[in-house]
């Protein structure tokens, strides 16, 4: 498989085509692909993602993908790496942005590849993407503060949609479930803070009620959500190659490296089992 290497911290591409010009490939950077119009299939890590009209895809380093275009498609693509995330603003802001990107990738990979379902928000993102393209063509420097804030605006809309999409059964308790999810995301590196008893105390509900409410609206248990989410974050960090396993193990509060490796093996085996029995037509043969 071909591998694309990007030396620039940020690169923006805008084009229309009837045939995808690149072979199946992976890369060493993040990509945010926005489709303004068109129809086809995006093959992403062996999963077919159909698109028609406005659509958005977020790819992590090491992700493999290719498009099969059925109708002429207009693309805007943001390609950026850790250097851009680290260098565009102060340390606190860049750290928060890196965390947000990782969280969005984890949500998309774990529960739904479609991060934005709202047509209204897709329209907003389209307007922002066109502004980003215009700004890039006028001033492509990575220190462009206007560009940085435009991209941040896109990711803010992504965050709002991604968390909301996790809740499969909307109800009057939807805001509470969103608060629980946001708490999990904020404390994913602190296992003690995510024990059911601690969560119940923090939100002032009994453990049984909190667990039942979450399972009813998200369709997975709190523990399963935490473990799934943690695994996807770890997988993204491992694929980026920035940290070694021992560092990542420490970051996520594992007692030792052996427990960390057992956790990875458990989830890798589980994912393989799901792929082998998948018969819903989503997987590429």
- Per run of 10 residues, the mean pLDDT along the chain (length 285 residues) is 85 96 89 96 87 91 90 96 66 66 70 74 96 90 79 87 68 75 87 94 94 88 90 80 86 91 81 44 34
Q: Are 233 and 106 in contact (CB under 8 A)?
A: yes
Q: Are 197 and 207 in contact (CB under 8 A)?
A: yes
Q: Give the three-state DSSP class for 27.
A: strand
The pLDDT of residue 281 is: 39
pTM for the whole structure: 0.69
**Of 162, 151, 64, the residue nearest 113 (C-alpha):** 162
Q: Rounded to 5 degrees, what are φ and ψ at 52?
A: -150, 115
- Residue carrying structure tokens 């491992």: 238
Q: Which long-range contacts (CB under 8 A, 24 or more apart) does 174-183 make?
A: 174/217, 176/203, 176/213, 177/213, 177/214, 177/217, 177/218, 179/203, 180/210, 180/214, 180/222, 181/218, 181/225
DSSP per-residue string spanning 173-223: THHHHHHHHHHHHHTTT-GGGGSHHHHHHHHTS-HHHHHHHHHHHHSS-HH
- Residue carrying structure tokens 């698109």: 51
Tell me the C-alpha to C-alpha distance, in Å, between residue 285 and each of 46, 240, 275. 8, 27, 11
Q: Where in the chain is the domain with CATH 2.60.120.10?
A: 2-157
- In angstroms, the CA 95 to CA 89 distance is 9
CA-CA-CA-CA torsion sign (156, 157, 158, 162):
positive
Longest CA pairwise span in the chain (Å): 56
Task: Give the CATH number of domain 2-157.
Answer: 2.60.120.10
The pLDDT of residue 79 is: 93
Q: Where in the chain is the domain with CATH 1.10.10.60?
A: 174-277
- Class of the 174-277 domain? mainly alpha
């Amino acid at each position: 498989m071909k591998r694309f290497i990007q030396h620039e911290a940020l690169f923006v591409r805008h084009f229309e085509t009837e045939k995808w010009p690149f072979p199946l490939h992976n890369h060493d950077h993040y990509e945010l692909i926005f489709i303004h119009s068109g129809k086809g299939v995006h093959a992403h890590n062996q999963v077919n993602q159909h698109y028609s009209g406005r659509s958005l895809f977020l790819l992590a380093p090491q992700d493999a993908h290719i498009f099969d275009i059925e109708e002429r498609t207009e693309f805007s693509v943001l390609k950026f790496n850790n250097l851009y995330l680290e260098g565009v603003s102060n340390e606190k802001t860049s750290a928060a942005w890196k965390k947000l990107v990782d969280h969005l990738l984890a949500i998309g990979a774990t529960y739904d590849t479609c991060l934005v379902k709202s047509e209204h928000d897709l329209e907003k993102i389209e307007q922002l993407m066109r502004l980003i393209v215009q700004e890039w063509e006028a001033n492509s420097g990575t220190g462009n503060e206007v560009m940085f804030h435009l991209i941040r605006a896109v990711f803010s809309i992504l965050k709002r949609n991604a968390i909301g999409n996790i809740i499969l059964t909307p109800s009057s308790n939807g805001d509470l479930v969103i608060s629980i999810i946001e708490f999990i995301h904020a404390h994913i590196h602190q296992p003690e803070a995510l024990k059911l008893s601690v969560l119940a105390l923090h939100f002032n509900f009994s453990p049984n009620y909190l667990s039942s409410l979450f399972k009813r609206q998200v369709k997975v248990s709190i523990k399963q959500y935490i473990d799934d989410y943690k695994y996807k974050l770890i997988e993204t960090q491992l694929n980026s190659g920035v940290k070694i396993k021992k560092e990542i193990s420490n970051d996520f509060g594992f007692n030792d490296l052996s427990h960390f490796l057992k956790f990875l093996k458990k989830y890798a085996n589980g994912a393989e089992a799901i792929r082998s029995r998948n018969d819903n037509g989503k997987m590429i043969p």
